Amino acid sequence: MPLKYQLCVCLASLVWLASPAMAAKVRYGAGIDLHASTWSGNSGGKDDFSASRGQLGLQVQAHLNRWIGGLALLAGSYNFADVKPNTDQPSAKATRYDRVEWDFIVGYQVWRYVALYGDLKAMGYAWHDNGDNKVNYTGLGLGAQWHYPLGTRWTVYGNVVVASGSAAMTGVDDALAKANGFVIGGAYRFDHRLSLLAGIKQQGMKFNFDQSQEHQVGALVLGVHFLF
- Buried-exposed string 123-137: b where 16+ CB fall within 10 A, e elsewhere: bbbebebeeebebbb
Could you tell me the pTM of the whole model?
0.84
Sign of CA dihedral 147, 149, 150, 153: positive
CATH number, domain with residue 164:
2.40.128.90
pLDDT tens, position by position, 85-107: 887 666 667 889 999 999 999 99
What pLDDT sits at residue 129? 74
What pLDDT sits at residue 150? 94
Domain extent at residue 152: 3-227
What pLDDT sits at residue 172? 81
Minimal CA–CA distance to 140: which of 123, 157, 115, 158?
Answer: 123
What pLDDT sits at residue 149? 95
What pLDDT sits at residue 228? 85
pLDDT class of 40 with cuts at 50, 70, 90? very high
> Number of folded domains in the chain?
1
